[in-house]
Structure formats: C-alpha cells, structure tokens
Amino acid sequence: MAQVYDRVALIGLGLIASSMAHAMRRDGLAGQIVGYAKSAETRQTAREIGLCDHVAESAAEAADGADLIVLCVPVGAMGAVAAEIAPVLKPGATVSDVGSVKRTVIEAVGPYIPDGVHFIPAHPLAGTEHSGPRAGFAELFDNRYTIIVPVQGSDTDAVARLSALWQGMGALVEEMDPEHHDLVLAVTSHTPHLIAYTMVGVADDLRRVTDSEVIKYSAAGFRDFTRIAASDPVMWRDVFLNNKEATLEILGRFTEELFALQRAIRQGDGDHLHDYFTRTRAIRRGIIEAGQDTDAPDFGRGKARKE
C-alpha cells in the first residue's frame, strides 16, 4: 500500500503506539514516524529498539510539522497532551487518538484543536494485557475493527485518509457517534474487564483464606480472566472514570441478572438456569453462523487485508 501520511507523530509509546509503528512500517504507510512518551525510560527503550525514526524530548517537538498526530496515552491524559501540542499544530494536520472511551476524550481534546486542524477520534478494538513500547506487534490490528468517531464538521477527505491508514494497518473501519461507541464498549469491553478484575480478586481472597490452590489449578475460562485482569491499571482506572454513566448502566443490569441466577440456584430452579444458558449459547452460535467471529480463519477475507 502507498504512503498515506508524510510525517506521523505518536504521543505515548505503549502497546497501541508501538503496534501502529510496526504496522505502518510493514506497509510503508508513513514517510517518517516520530514518537514521544512522558517517561525517559520509555523513550530510551524506544530508541534502543528503533521503534520510530526519531524519539522527541517533548510532545510539542514530536507534533511540530506532523501531518498526523495520534494521542496514544491513557484517556485521562489526553486533554493535557492536546494542550501541550496545540501551539505547534500545522494547518491541515489531523489530530486523532486511540482512547478506549470517546465522549470525554472529545470534550477534553476538542477545545484545544485550532481552526484549520482536523480532529478525528478513533478507537482500535484490539489489544492485549501487555503494555509499553516492547509490547507492540504489526499484526495487532489485522481483521480487528477500528471505530472512527467523526466530530461535528469533520472533513470527509481527512476522515477518508485516516480510514485508509487504519485499513492499511489491517483494520476493518466503521464509524459511530461517541455516545453509541461508549455504550457498546461498556457492554463488550469495559464491564467484562470489571467482572474479570472482580473474579480474580475474589479467587485471590479465597486463596488467602483457605490456602487452597484456586489460582494454580484454574481452568481455561478463569485463566482468561487472569489474563484480562493483568491489564494496565492506569489505563483501566481512566476507562472507568471516563465512561461512568454507560458502565454503571450496564453494571446495574448485570447485577439484576446475577441476582436472578443466584435466586434460581438457591431455589433449585433448573428450568430458569437451563433456559438462560440455552439463550446465551444461541448467541454465540449466532455470531459464528453470521460470520461475525473475527477469529474465524476466513473472517474478513477480501474485505480489509491484502494477502
């Protein structure tokens, strides 16, 4: 694929930024990649592994002269970074981000974007429990959705160009409005993470109390919970503080269902349990039959990735 942007600045050099750097290089999508992270240790690591063409000493130095600036920092840090880079943004440049929450990021960053600069928030629905500049890999976004969340008056050419970059990095691109994004992600990502954190905490408490080996002998499902619960605490603290309304709404519904199942177990109501599990099994099967399982070997064939 041809180059999409001349100079790309990545602010924050963790899992997502480093994966973007590898993916952009794999496909020659950027003429030059400049990076910056707050911690000197991270900047040093990025230099050692040759992650970018240049590692800057400030966010403003990285953003200066860039055609695309992508904010890859925890959601709670987006506004401060936007304030820092605002004075050096060149006319016609695009500022984007990869934050897991969209409405509060738009509120925090939007006011700093000068006239003549495009602001196009985005969110790749891809990740791992690892963080930092060594965690990235070029294939992270392959066949995964990236949600672009255009703000009012977003320039269509600038949106198309950013979409082309994400498609070049292997992603399937869709657009959503911020409120819808935050609600969908509260269901599919944020609340499930909270449940995993809770379950791992409960198991850990139990281990201490009984001195049994619940974690050592955990089966596959629980092992997945522990993987998710190993995710970066700063990132996830910021997700919940910034998607309060939607996660509280989904948690409320979750708790109601959980109480109903708890009552069914207590009362020996096998029909309730059987009906419930039959319904949830049908959901998984429906996803697979509809060809919506992005892990299926033939998913997205011919849609996004070039062979």
Binding site for ligand PRE (CB under 6 A): 100, 125-129, 189, 228
Shorter beta-carbon distance to ligand PRE: residue 94 or 100: 100
Nearest 5°: the CA angle 83, 132, 163 is 60
Is-contact 148 178, C-beta < 8 A?
Answer: no
Nearer to ligand NAD, 57 or 177 (CB): 57
For residues 25-52, one letter each, b for 16 or more C-beta atoms within 10 angstroms of the residue's C-beta and e for the rest, the string is bebebbebbbbbbeeeebbebbeeeebb
Q: Two tokens at 293?
A: 């399982």
Contact partner at residue 189 from ligand NAD, ligand PRE, none, CB < 5 to 8 Å by partner kind: ligand PRE
Beta bridge partners, 174, equal: 147
Please say which residue, 237 or 301, places its beta carbon nearer to ligand NAD.
237
Residues lying near ligand NAD in the complex (CB under 6 A): 11-17, 37-39, 42, 59, 72-75, 77, 80-81, 98-100, 123-124, 127, 131-132, 135, 232, 235, 239
Q: Tokens for 246? A: 């939607």
Name the binder of 52 from ligand PRE, ligand NAD, none, CB < 5-8 A by kind.
none
Q: Output 139 or 269, the one with its CB closest to ligand NAD.
A: 139
Q: Which two tokens stand for residue 231?
A: 């995710």
Q: How do 94-97 and 54-55 pair as beta strands?
A: unpaired
Tokens (6 digits) for 249: 């709404």
Least separation, in Å, of the C-beta of 98 and ligand NAD? 4
15 binds, among ligand PRE, ligand NAD, none (CB under 5 to 8 A by kind): ligand NAD
